[in-house]
Amino acid sequence: MVKVDMRVAINAVSDVVQNRPRPLREFDQIHMKTGDMVMQSEAVAAWADGKRLAFIGDGDAVSVSVAYLKRRGVLDFGPSKITVFDFDERTVNAVKRFADKERIEHLDAVRYNVLDAFPDSNKFDCFYTNPPWGASNGGASVNAFVQRGIEAVRHEGEGCIVIADDDDLPWPKQVLASVQSYAGTRGFYVSRMNRKLHEYHLDDAPDLRSCNLFISSLPGNTGDGVASAPLTDPDSLRNFYGRSKEPRVRFVREVKRPDYGKAPQEEYALEYLNDEETE
């Protein structure tokens, strides 16, 4: 393996950060900080080296970072195929634009809402998800994303789940227990856990971190032939994106194509030196 040049890696991931859309807090979108994205991308690339990797949601753009670091030669390992499934059309289009610009042929994105049955696509070897953390629903929202990840690998493979990890708060422990229990009911076990790795741009909880929870399928796991189906159970959907935030939106649509990396004109006005017209 090539020794990672951290300066080059950070600069590459900063290109990705410039491209990703701003987070929508009403959907519990919170972006990972850039330094942690670099470390996370290297870890995910090594874990999924040579494999087909599905991202069940990816506002952070870790998927793009993983693909771009390999494309730039910063890493000499990584997945053979990456597909992002996200209900935010801004994210989907941002992934597609970046992949096209940088000629990353093995990176793609599909508009998809986890409330819908998972599309009958090619089988993936592993999945990655950093879902809404389930502070107000005991982890039910996390389990919804995990369910779709398990369906993406067709019940046989591995998953990396990014969720809150804090020793001083009760709810992260409850969510972790819920997710581990749910994985067990689907024929998966916890293979390892890396604690308190990531920090976020989170104003109301700046010290809250997250962990990587890795799960693997048990030998012979088939899912008992259960087909993917829409999520309609009201108890599972309650407080999905936080307290009193039930799912009401199927897709976030991109109203116009933003020029990522540049401030939109709606954010500023110009005052000229010679009393010319202000724009």
pLDDT tens figures, 6-16: 999 999 999 99
Q: Closest by alpha carbon to 26, among 186, 173, 226, 246?
A: 246
Q: What's the whole-model pTM score?
A: 0.91
Which whole number is the average pLDDT over 22-44?
Answer: 92
Percent pLDDT > 70 in the chain is 94
The full set of domain ranges for the chain reads: 6-243+259-267
Q: Supply the pLDDT for residue 268.
A: 74
Sign of CA dihedral 12, 13, 18, 21: positive
Does 266 score more than 80 pLDDT? no
Mean pLDDT of the region 66-83? 97
Can you give the pLDDT at residue 278? 47
Tens of pLDDT, residue by residue over 78-117, are 999 999 999 999 999 999 999 999 999 999 999 999 999 9
CATH 1.10.3720.10 is held by the domain 6-243+259-267 = no
The pLDDT-based confidence of 226 (bands split at 50, 70, 90) is confident
C-alpha dihedral (231, 235, 241, 245), degrees to nearest 10: 120
Question: Where does the pLDDT of residue 279 fall: very low under 50, low under 70, confident under 90, or very high at 90 and above?
Answer: very low
Count the neighbouring beta carbons within 10 Å of the beta carbon of residue 187: 19
Q: In the chain, where does DSSP find H-type helix?
A: 6-19, 34-47, 62-71, 89-102, 140-152, 170-185, 234-237
Among residues 114, 41, 128, 43, the alpha carbon closest in space to that of 83 is found at 128
> What span, in angstroms and rounded, lies between the C-alpha atoms of 79 and 52?
6
